[in-house]
């Protein structure tokens, strides 16, 4: 077996390890450059609207270095989505059993149920992840303000602590609960977080133009450009249930976090039998995706949501790898294997560790790309499907494509999470959702990578 401690390019930089060889004179030059640029977090003159991708990446590296993230066995427990309702393609249904249509969806598995403690001092402890959170995110601020203002924030010593940080996108995603839903306004919606413990305000209540303008900040920078080819940070939206890439100048809420430094850090083992175990999350994954196995009616790995659930049944009948408990991952399990330092624009690969195989595709816009991957999680969002309960969440391991102002763009970045209609005609997809603000590419027939609990 081959065991790999997964360290990103950013982590390598933190540890002082170069990812490429250099002569001694090059190393000296690199050291000098580093010394000049190690104080970006202390530079109050920086502007989010003019920050370059390189500067943003350097600031992210400084933030991560200050934390000192490390991986640990069992150190990355995935908190369940809290989805407890069973769905078909267009309705709420009774719980299906083995052999029934729609068996194996998110609600069939309980996982680590959300469990919080209100500490009574403006902080909340997540008893699953051991992370402690700021309860009230306060006023909005942009990414640069949050990063350069972190020392000042820690001077306030919320809860008696002065080691608060901006969460990574994986830490932030631990708070997400798909018991929420998105209607046509705040009155017909419910947030994708536990408002018994966390303060949350919809955009319209805060005076924003749209009720969904309640985006939450992360420290994670996309290593390529998106809209206007500018520096981009990943954020999550508790109002509409999506991870997207946003311009750094956008104003966000920020739930600061502290505590364990192992969350979001994978430890992969290649088991030598076309499976990979992550001992940080205790999940075992198919090394290859549905495209590799030529699954589906077109033998290209693309499946609609019900077909994806059924493919898990097929693999269980075959006892692939000697196991019969494979399942379609829920969306939080699936997001756990995204590598946010990788992607087609930066590493000419899917946004996943190189141990995994991801089937190359050509997307709707004619770009060489990688798949959207189905999760088992229904995303109850009226904007994602005209049919109630008709959309499910997926994670993007290639470009997060869209069409804006007459231009085809990677609008949301590799590693974003959106949702597609659960079914449709292959004659109609892929296409571009002209009603979406960023003209999201819709595929409906997506790739699949199955998972099971590690023994």
Q: How far apart are CA 85 and CA 111, in angstroms?
A: 15
Q: How far apart are CA 420 and CA 438, in angstroms?
A: 14
Q: How far apart are CA 284 and CA 453, in angstroms?
A: 6
Coil/strand/helix, residue 21: coil
177 in a domain, yes or no? no
Pairing of strands 257-259, 131-134: antiparallel
In the block, tokens 């190189």 appear at: 354
Spell out the residues 6+ positions from residue 414 whose beta carbon is closer than 8 angstroms to its own.
Answer: 222, 224, 338, 340, 342, 343, 344, 345, 346, 350, 351, 396, 397, 398, 399, 400
pLDDT at 435: 80
Domain assignment of residue 312, given as a range: 286-453
DSSP labels, 220-285: EEESS--GGG--EEEEEETTTTEEEEEETTS-BB---EEE-S-TT--EEEE-SSSEEEETTTTEEE
344 in a domain, yes or no? yes
251 in a domain, yes or no? no
pLDDT at 455: 81
Q: How far apart are CA 49 and CA 345, in angstroms?
A: 22
148 in a domain, yes or no? no
Tokens of 92: 């709420």
Spell out the residues 6+ positions from residue 347 whose beta carbon is closer than 8 angstroms to its own.
Answer: 341
Q: Are 149 and 155 in contact (CB under 8 A)?
A: no
Number of domains present in the structure of the chain: 1
Assessment of whether the complete model's pTM goes beyond 0.95: no
431 in a domain, yes or no? yes
DSSP labels, 404-441: ETTEEEE-S-TT-EEEEES---TTT-SEE-TTSTT--E
Q: At CA 333, angle to CA 73 and CA 126, rounded to 5?
A: 65
92 in a domain, yes or no? no
Chain segment 403-442, per-residue pLDDT in tens: 998 899 999 999 999 999 999 999 999 999 888 888 999 9
Q: How far apart are CA 311 and CA 102, in angstroms?
A: 11
Chain segment 112-136, per-residue pLDDT in tens: 999 999 999 999 999 999 999 999 9
Tokens of 181: 């839903």
Q: Which residues of the chain, if any, have pLDDT below 70?
A: 1-38, 228
281 in a domain, yes or no? no
Q: How far apart are CA 369 and CA 359, in angstroms?
A: 9
Tokens of 21: 């060889």
pLDDT at 38: 56
DSSP labels, 197-226: TS----TTTTT-SSTT--EEEEEEEESS--
What percent of the chain lies above the pLDDT cut of 70?
A: 91
pLDDT at 1: 52
For residue 418, count CB atoms less than 10 angstroms from its CB and return exposed for 0-12, middle for 13-18, buried for 19 or more: buried
Q: How far apart are CA 335 and CA 186, in angstroms?
A: 27
Spell out the residues 6+ positions from residue 152 whose beta carbon is closer than 8 angstroms to its own.
Answer: none
295 in a domain, yes or no? yes
Q: How far apart are CA 283 and CA 268, in angstroms?
A: 10
Tokens of 253: 């809420």
Tokens of 301: 């790995």
Chain segment 10-66, per-residue pLDDT in tens: 443 333 332 332 223 233 233 333 334 457 888 877 888 889 999 999 999 999 999
Q: Specify the long-range contacts of residues 242-245, CB closer than 8 Å, at least 24 apart.
A: 242/416, 242/417, 242/418, 242/419, 243/169, 243/173, 243/335, 243/412, 243/415, 243/416, 243/417, 243/418, 244/215, 244/400, 244/411, 244/412, 244/413, 244/416, 244/418, 245/400, 245/411, 245/412, 245/413, 245/416
């Amino acid at each position: 077996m081959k065991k790999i401690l997964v360290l990103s390019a950013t982590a390598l930089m933190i540890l002082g390890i170069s990812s490429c060889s250099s002569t001694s004179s090059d190393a000296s030059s690199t050291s000098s450059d580093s010394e000049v640029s190690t104080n970006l977090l202390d530079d109050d003159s920086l502007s989010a609207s003019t920050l370059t991708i390189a500067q943003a990446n350097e600031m992210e590296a400084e933030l991560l270095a200050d934390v000192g993230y490390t991986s640990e066995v069992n150190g990355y427990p995935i908190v369940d989505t809290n989805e407890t309702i069973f769905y078909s393609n267009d309705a709420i249904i009774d719980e299906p059993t083995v052999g029934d249509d729609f068996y194996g969806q998110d609600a069939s598995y309980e996982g680590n149920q959300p469990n919080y403690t209100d500490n009574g001092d403006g902080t909340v402890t997540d008893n699953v992840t051991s992370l402690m959170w700021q309860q009230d995110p306060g006023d909005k601020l942009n990414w640069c303000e949050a990063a350069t203002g972190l020392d000042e924030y820690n001077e306030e010593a919320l809860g008696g602590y002065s080691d608060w940080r901006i969460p990574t996108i994986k830490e932030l995603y631990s708070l997400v609960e798909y018991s929420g839903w998105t209607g046509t306004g705040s009155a017909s919606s419910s947030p994708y977080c536990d408002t018994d413990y966390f303060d949350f305000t919809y955009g319209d209540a805060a005076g924003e133009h749209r009720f969904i303008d309640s985006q939450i900040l992360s420290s994670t920078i996309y290593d390529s450009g998106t809209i206007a080819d500018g520096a981009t940070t990943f954020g999550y939206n508790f109002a509409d249930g999506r991870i997207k890439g946003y311009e750094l100048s956008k104003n966000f809420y920020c739930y600061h976090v502290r505590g364990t430094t192992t969350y979001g850090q994978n430890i992969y083992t290649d088991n030598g039998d076309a499976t990979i175990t992550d001992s940080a999350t205790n999940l075992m994954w198919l090394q290859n995706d549905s495209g590799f196995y030529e699954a589906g009616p077109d033998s290209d790995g693309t499946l609609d949501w019900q077909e994806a659930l059924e493919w898990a049944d097929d693999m269980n009948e075959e006892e692939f790898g000697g196991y019969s408990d494979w399942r379609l991952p829920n969306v939080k399990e699936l997001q756990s294997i995204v590598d946010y330092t990788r992607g087609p624009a930066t590493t000419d690969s899917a946004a996943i560790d190189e141990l995994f195989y991801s089937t190359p595709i050509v997307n709707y816009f004619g770009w060489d790309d990688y798949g959207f991957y189905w999760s088992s999680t229904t995303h109850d969002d009226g904007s994602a499907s005209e049919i109630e309960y008709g959309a499910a969440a997926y994670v993007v391991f290639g470009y997060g494509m869209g069409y804006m102002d007459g231009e085809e763009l990677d609008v949301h970045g590799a590693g974003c999470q959106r949702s597609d209609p659960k079914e449709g005609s292959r004659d109609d997809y892929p296409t571009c959702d002209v009603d979406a603000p960023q003209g999201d590419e819709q595929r409906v027939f997506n790739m699949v990578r199955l998972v099971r609990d590690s023994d």
